[in-house]
Structure 1
C-alpha cells in the first residue's frame, strides 16, 4: 500500500500519547482517519486541531465496540494502541485485581478486535498493527502481570495471522513493541517506579534509555510500516527512538 490517500484507518487509543501521534501522521499522509478513545474531550481537541480526523467516543474493551466500529468503517488499516496503565509495585504488594488489570484490558482488546477483524472479515490487503510492549521481551518485575499480558497480545496476533493465512483472507497482522518512553502514561509510570527503585531521579533514568520514542516518531514509523510491501513484513518489530527494527 504505497498511497495512503483515502485509506480508511481506525486508530484505537488515539486521544493521547503515541496513539495520538499515529492518528495525526496517518491523516497527514492522506488517510481517512477515525480516532477512537473513551474520553470525549481530548478526542474533540484532536479533531479541532487536525482537520479531517473523525472521532468515536467508545470503550475499546466493551464487548460490542470492535464489531460495531469495524462494521461501520470497514477499515483498510487498523492500529490498536489502547491499553491500561499497569499498577506499579513489587509482587507481594499487589492484589490479584491489580496484578491482572492488563489482562482485563490490553489482552481483551487484542482478542476482541482481532476476532472481529477476522470474523467480518476485513477486505483482502487490510493491515492491522497491534501495539504490545518491549516488556513482552524483557519482563517488567514492577508492573505485575503487564509483561505477561503484552506477551499474550503477541501470541494472539500470531494466531490471528495463522488464521488469516489458512483461510486466505490476505490480512497482514503486525505486532509492534515500543521501548519505554516518557511520552505516554504507561512509560511515565514505569520510569517513575524504576527510577525510585534504583534510587535515581526520573531524569537520570530517562537519559539512560537512549533515543526516546515520541508521538511523531511513532506516527512516522507506523505510516512507513503500513506503506511497505506485505511480502517484506516481519511478524513483529521493536520500536525505539530510531524507528522500527524487525524481531527475528
Structure 2
C-alpha cells in the first residue's frame, strides 16, 4: 500500500543544503573542463531496468506539503527533503569521485575516491528504494550550485585538481550531516529512520576519508551558523 497523503499543519523548517550517485565509467579528461559531459552522465539512471520515481520537475507545491501517512509511519516535509537531497548529492558526487579515481595526482586521493564512489553507489540504491516505497519524486540532475562545483573541479589540473575536489566534497558532506541528524532525531517513519542511519554512517565515513588526505582547508568546512 502506498502512502496516503494527509495535509496537516507543519512547522516551517530551515533546511541545510545538501551535497552524497549515478554510476558511470569516465574517460580521463584532458586539461580542459569536461563538466557538461559529467553532468549529462550524472543525470542518467544507474539502474536502467528499474522504474524510477523521478522527475526533472519539482513536485507541485500542494502535493509536497504537510505530512503523508504511510504504513511505515508519517512522512514529514523534512523527511522528504533529506531523501531528495541525498539523491541530489549522488548525482554529482558519484561522477566526480569516479573521475578522481583516474585524474587525481596522489595515490591517497585516488584510493579515497574509489571507496567513496563504491559506497555512494550503495547509498543511491538505498535512496531510490525508499523513495519508491514512499512515492517520493526524485530529481534527475544536479543543482546549479552542484554543477558549478563540478565545473570548478573538472577545470582544475595537477595538485589543484586534488585540492579543489577535496574542498567541495568535504564541504558538501559537512552540509548534509546536520540534516541527517535532524531527521534521525525527529522522524516517526521507520523506513526514513533506518535510511537516516545509513546516511549517517556513510557521510561520517566519507568526511573522515576526505580529511585523511591532508588536503582539507578552512574552505572545506561549512559555516557552523549555516
- Structure (1/2) with the larger strand percentage: 1
Q: Which has the higher contact order (CA 8 A, sep 6+)?
A: 2
Structure with greater proportional helix content: 2
